Amino acid sequence: NAGVTQTPKFRVLKTGQSMTLLCAQDMNHEYMYWYRQDPGMGLRLIHYSVGEGTTAKGEVPDGYNVSRLKKQNFLLGLESAAPSQTSVYFCASSPTGNSNQPQHFGDGTRLSIL
Amino acid sequence: SQQGEEDPQALSIQEGENATMNCSYKTSINNLQWYRQNSGRGLVHLILIRSNEREKHSGRLRVTLDTSKKSSSLLITASRAADTASYFCATDVYSNSGYALNFGKGTSLLVTP
């Protein structure tokens, strides 16, 4: 049982390049989330999805787009990467929208923008 | 904005000692969760406490919740080197779009042999 899998694990980009981070979960969870983690800032929610075909903005959505075309996948896109987007990105999922259920996290994607 | 704030930011203890971390939050909650993050890994759920609960135990973990003070504490008893990690509290946030978690900045725990 893989849980939540993020690809790639590491990536270095140049300013202005674009890329897509992939998150896949095999637990049939409805809710999926993208966070970024910066030193001293904890985790901040970028976007989330409450089900296939839906997305919603979190705390820091600017500069990112997301898509949830399939229930098991949640994609995070950077259209024009900026150095301020250097961070560790975590994907998470939860069974439903009930807050008495924990979120399950992947091991992160470490992204550097030069 | 971040809802939870952990205290202290860093904690260093020896094996066998107890470790206590505190979390304060700003608005009403339904549930509060604690997570652990080992270096270079994702977060792992430890324990959830509901707003109508005051204390909860899981193995060597004890969590308390005081909704009147909007605070929670995580106690790890008889710490081991393997407990070295960062610990985060998270509170639920609801909007028209659904439910999400607000995480604090974390407490970094170092347990030395």
CA distance A93 to A74: 10
β-pair type (A10-13, A109-113): parallel
For residue B1, pLDDT over 60 is answered with: no
Please enumerate, as own/partner, the contacts of A3-9 that have beta carbons within 8 Å and a separation of 24 or more: A3/A27, A3/A104, A3/A106, A4/A91, A4/A92, A4/A93, A4/A104, A4/A105, A4/A106, A4/B42, A5/A106, A6/A89, A6/A90, A6/A91, A6/A106, A6/A107, A6/A108, A6/A109, A7/A109, A8/A109, A9/A107, A9/A108, A9/A109, A9/A110
Assigned token pair, B35:
């997570």
Interface of B with A (CB under 8 A): 1-2, 30-31, 33, 40-45, 48, 50, 88, 92, 94-95, 97-106
CB contact under 8 A, B105 and A106: no
For residue B1, the chain A residues in CB contact (below 8 A) are 59
pLDDT of residue B3: 62
pLDDT digits (tens, 9 = 90+) for B3-17: 668 889 999 999 999
pLDDT of residue B6: 84
pLDDT digits (tens, 9 = 90+) for B17-71: 999 999 999 988 899 999 999 999 999 999 999 999 999 999 999 999 999 999 9
CB contact under 8 A, A100 and B30: yes
pLDDT digits (tens, 9 = 90+) for A32-86: 999 999 987 789 999 999 999 999 999 899 999 999 999 999 999 999 999 999 9
pLDDT of residue B101: 87
β-pair type (B31-37, A104-105): unpaired
pLDDT digits (tens, 9 = 90+) for A5-18: 999 999 999 999 99
CB contact under 8 A, A108 and B41: yes
Nearest-neighbour CA in chain B from A42: distance (Å): 4
